[in-house]
Homo-oligomer: A and B are copies of this chain.
Amino acid sequence: MPRPAPRPAAPLVARQPRRGHGRATLADVAAAAGVTAITVSRFLREPQRVAPATAAAIAAALRQTGYLPNKQAGVLASAAAGTARMVAALIPSIANSIFAETVQGLADALQGSGCELLLASTGYSAEREEEQLRALLGWFPSALVVTGRRHTPGALALMRQAQARGTPVIEIWDHHPEPGAESFTQIGFDHGQVGQAMAEHLIGRGYRGLAYVDSGVAEDFRAHERGDGFLAAAAHRGVPAHRVTAPALEAIDAGRSAFVSLLDAHGQPNVRAAAFANDHLASGAMFEARRRGVAVPGRLALLGFGDFSLGRQLDPPLSTVHTPRFEIGQAAARALLQSLHSGNPAADARLPWTLIVRGSS
């Protein structure tokens, strides 16, 4: 009588299962529907590729189990295709309404594309940018959006590495294509040109004795570049101009303070018109002018930047530069989606800004 064949030895110690959460997986759904996981996966991605009867069973099982696909697993499994469906964005400050609106544009345009937004802010610090970049890239995002074109060597290396892997890398808020230099997609405008236009507007109005009130944020390079353009244009026209830097206060207060220092410019050429790094600063100057009874633009003409809603309400309404802040985000989203779709790098875009002349200049 043959003895029963020995059963394969059971493992000496049962290993602990690793599932710790109660979440339904593809396998659970599949079991409930009487198929295997791959069929459910197919149903979710290409419903028409499964038989109608199977589809119905799967749909029921999905509902019954409350299944939510695990995107981490999905990304990992198709890492080669670069389908992370997640866009990482890095801006100087979330609380700054300029960037908040850009992020809104980005998020809105990403809506419906199946891409989520991974957001981080640098606090205008280049070192923190590199740090955050490293953290964001660890998620293997399908695209990367960063602000401006000044980065630490480490950050640049990370960006290049990402780009080399086929991840679209987009620099927003700036547009300085450097012929010959391999670089990233830029979506924005030339801040030097804006500064130049600001100076030319004031000069064209007949003002002599100009000032550019720069941002007190040392790493707001774009504000500084507008200042550079402003001073260069004035110099080119032979008009005296100088730069003052706003103090590190809340912006409207900083503008008030800067206004005061413009009025009493010890030995400086008499200032008749001032351009500001942003509308908040310019508004502060307007408030202070009103308080002191200084005529605007009679004694001093004022010009802002940004076209925030407040400026229109002032008396006189503030002349300013309208910027495509929402559109920059939208354009970045469109560019990266198209790049993801086509496989080609996204094209640069120079977005239009306009100088709006109101009463203050």
Contacts and interface: CB of A to CB of B under 8 A. Distances in A.
Given A20-B81, A116-B136, A166-B21, A309 B250 contact: yes
Interface in A190-242: none
A107 interface: yes
Contacts of A23: 165
A43 to B, nearest CB: 16
B140 A71 contact: yes
A66 interface: yes
Given A79-B20, A165-B21, A69 B138 contact: yes
Contacts of A72: 72, 75-76, 79, 84, 139-140
Report how many copies the assembly holds. Answer: 2
A22 interface: yes
A135 interface: yes
A250 to B, nearest CB: 6
Interface stretch (A4-12, A118-126, A295-303): A118-126
Interface residues of A, number: 66
B118 A118 contact: yes
A139 B95 contact: no
B139 A71 contact: yes
A108 to B, nearest CB: 8
A21 B81 CA distance: 8
Q: Pick the most buried of A21, A93, A291: most chain B CB atoms within 10 A of its CB.
A: A21
B97 A95 contact: yes
Contacts of A104: 93-95, 121
Contacts of A66: 157, 161
Contacts of A94: 94, 100-101, 103-104, 107
Q: Pick the most buried of A96, A116, A134: most chain B CB atoms within 10 A of its CB.
A: A116
A19 interface: yes
A18 B80 contact: yes
Nearest to A157: B66
A84 to B, nearest CB: 8
A50 to B, nearest CB: 21
Nearest to A112: B131
A349 interface: no
A103 B121 CA distance: 10
A103 B118 CA distance: 12
Given A313-B284, A313-B287, A119 B121 contact: no
A296 B261 CA distance: 31
A82 interface: yes
Contact of A117 (B80, B101, B119, B251): B119
A312 B291 CA distance: 13
16 contacts: A20-B79, A20-B81, A22-B164, A70-B138, A71-B138, A71-B139, A72-B72, A72-B79, A73-B76, A94-B100, A94-B104, A95-B104, A107-B120, A117-B120, A119-B119, A283-B313
